[in-house]
Structure 1
């Protein structure tokens, strides 16, 4: 956890488009305080026409609590209802451990590196 003040979000979210994928990069802590930031960002994504892929780049996520994992499951469910494949990229360290511990590793399409997930999305044009 960070040394930031309690209750203060420590997550930054950036997004972009790449051919047939929406790319969302998360940096910091994916915890109960960060969920509103991610949800607001995703709200704008959900308003767009569905793309074939949504890539969540988690390579710079330093911490993820149960609420963060719950949010990832909700994103996966939303993607499934839209016909979008969710790819989790940059999964190593903390995120790899959390996915393994929770038993969710095989529920998601997981890539250790961002470029591997992007390559899949581009190859599926």
Structure 2
């Protein structure tokens, strides 16, 4: 049963640091019910000194609605205001389709594999 039906989030959010990037991994459904969890986690990230890169690992996202996409756009704008490059890694399946359908595929730096996004961040000091 989806989180839309239950009203409960099925999103897990974890994060870590690399040399010049903050990495946030999302697993589950990125929908209206997940936003409070994601925003709470991101607030702790925004409180840190900016890093050159923020990588969102979307490889385990199984669903994304319009509110989830709006949140990704908001994250992109916050990154721009902090002069942080937002990289979306693991963009396949659901997320690749949603980004393509919404026309937002070219608004983001998108990588099919998370490791490719991480390599991009590591290659740029």
Same fold (TM over 0.5): yes
For 1:4 and 1:72, how far apart are their aligned partners in 2?
19
Structure 1 residues 10-49: aligned runs within 5 Å:
10-49=10-49
Tell me how many residue pairs correspond in the alignment. 125
Q: Deviations over 1:46-100 (max 9, x none)?
A: 0000000000000000000000000000000000000000000000000000000
Spell out structure 1 runs of 4+ moving beyond 3 A.
none
Indicate the RMSD between aligned Cα atoms, in angstroms: 1.3
Give the Å deviation of 1:4. Answer: 8.2
Give the Å deviation of 1:5. Answer: 5.5
Could you tell me which residue of structure 1 aligns to residue 80 of structure 2? 80
> TM (normalized to structure 2)?
0.97
- On the 8 A contact 2:28/2:61 being kept in 1, the answer is yes
For 2:3 and 2:37, how far apart are their aligned partners in 1?
19
Give the Å deviation of 1:3. Answer: 7.2
For 1:38 and 1:101, how far apart are their aligned partners in 2?
23
Give the Å deviation of 1:21. Answer: 0.1
For 1:115 and 1:55, how far apart are their aligned partners in 2?
10
2:50 is the alignment partner of 1:68: no
For 2:72 and 2:84, how far apart are their aligned partners in 1?
14
- On the 8 A contact 2:3/2:29 being kept in 1, the answer is no
Q: Which structure 1 residue ranges, 5 or more long, are not aligned?
A: none
- On the 8 A contact 2:20/2:121 being kept in 1, the answer is yes
2:50 is the alignment partner of 1:59: no
